A and B are shown apart, each in its own frame.
Chain A
Amino acid sequence: MVAGGVTKFAKAHPAMDFRLMVKRAYDAALAEVPELTTDRIDGSRVSYFSDHFSRQLKAASMVQDYLGLNPKGSVRIEWGGATGGECFQAAFEAVASGRMDVCLAAGYETMSRVATWKGNEFIALASDTNFDFPLGGFYTGYYALMVQRHIYEYIRLRKFAHIKDERQAQRMAIAEGTRVMALVSVKNHVNALHNPYAQYPKQLSVQDALNSEMISYPLTREQICTMSDGAAVAILCDEERAKEFTDRPVEVIGVGTGTDTMRLSDRPFGKVPLMPREKASDYTHLPYPGIHSFRAGRSAGLEAYRMAGIEDPNEELDFIELHDAYSSSEIQTYEDLGLCKYGEGYEFTERGDPFLTQVKYPFPTPKAGAIPVNPSGGLIACGHPVGATGLMQAVFAHWQLQGTIAEHFHDPTLQIADAKLGAIHSHAGTGSAVTVSILKRGF
């Protein structure tokens, strides 16, 4: 990867349609690498999630057209919430296969063109429309079902095993789980105070997060990402050309993907695919994934780590930008990616491992800096214009590995010192598809 660009993510960009948003992000990327002009690009992969938001089918063609890339090859990539991550990997494949020397990955979403609750309906159309959608058309509800079970397995049955009254024990476990989830929400909102591209930077407190409006029990508004307008692009090329275009390239050294059933109802109760540090005996009594964990995330992580030669992600990775559509799914994802064992996500959060040392949070984070997660602010604070999100992560990771956060954010705070290896993680509805890509400083 030689360059990336993003527009600021916002509730609405009424003065830009999707073509102009992508053009702005594309021009920002080209400005980083003056030797790389449009005539050097061999083709593109263009991502957006839903045709419903703009009611323009084959909109990716219009992006290709607007950027002046015709008659070069292009194809649209769509894979739910993981659309951006898949687009990044599709561009990687175009280059790695030798089909293209230089490939543009461009993504966007314009979600402001419908009212918020209509937008929720569109997103929920990416669930089974015979069995799931007619019950409420609401993805937050599905994630609430998942985190309820996660809390039950790992807090109710462990920390509160001694409480006999089932209803009381579960309420205590939910209070404990949501309190820790709120730490994640605070982390991401506070990190974003130093990211000018973020939609919702905020000096949030744990109480603010917990007391915000209940959306789907136990998920409150501040624990959930919002709808956004935005675009992001990444330009990938082979090593030879990378050296020609920039002296600060970033290598893609691992890609992984995973999938799971569309319906939560169909998720199996099987065995955990193990990370290098885990043993089968760690999970003797854990039917997996059930609805508590994202098997696709574990699968994507394992594949990407194997390709990149990573054995211990905590030790080897300097940071991760992961898909925190909900504070709950960020904690679930720590476990999927092997940052801690299944069941340890809450303690891992409380210890402070995924926090930054250089940012001040309104509670102690003793192990901050162990493995910073979502230094940018993630989806919760940056916004989630679906087709752009996975590419936004690539751009922020690119700048971290280049050491150019200060230059791009006009604020050095979020730069992770001497970052050499990072991961990006993109996730589709209830974990029905996940991508993980490993990026490495290439100079």
Chain B
Amino acid sequence: MIRRQYEKLELIAFMGALCLFFSTIEYLFPKPFPFFRLGLANLPVLVTIKLFPPGYVLLLVLLKVLGHGLINGTLASYVFLFSSAGSFSSAAVMLAAWYLCRDRISLVGVSVFGALASNMVQIMLSVTFIFGRSAWIIAPPFMTLGAASGVAVGLFAARFCEQSRWLAVIRDYYAAP
């Protein structure tokens, strides 16, 4: 039992490394706005939602934001606050969507909910702490792009869950008694 838990934590650390890896390859894709992020780092989180209980998913999100803050050196700045708030709100909404509508929602739906939650929280923070109330005008295009990136990431995650041999090995191992 303890060994199993240790192995799960090891896998969560590996998933955390995958989040960092996906965020480093984001630069390969052109950005329509300088502050916009595609959210590829969310892929391992989406996959983990299907595999492990919520506690492990939230731990993965914590590792993702800490790792990102340490690698990019943003741990002591507003970027970390925005990233943490966006990631945790997104994870909470994705978990809620997954557990409340498990048979009626696909990973694309879960991903879109997560992207919208993350963008909404980040707009609220930027209105409160940085730009002021006038910044609400950026909300509609920002949310639209967020939804589009949520669809793209969700489609990829769904395809990965279907086709990945590695994920099949992981699923079989943890499904075994």
- Note whether A and B form a binding pair: no
Interface residues of B, Cβ cutoff 8 Å to A: none
Interface residues of A, Cβ cutoff 8 Å to B: none
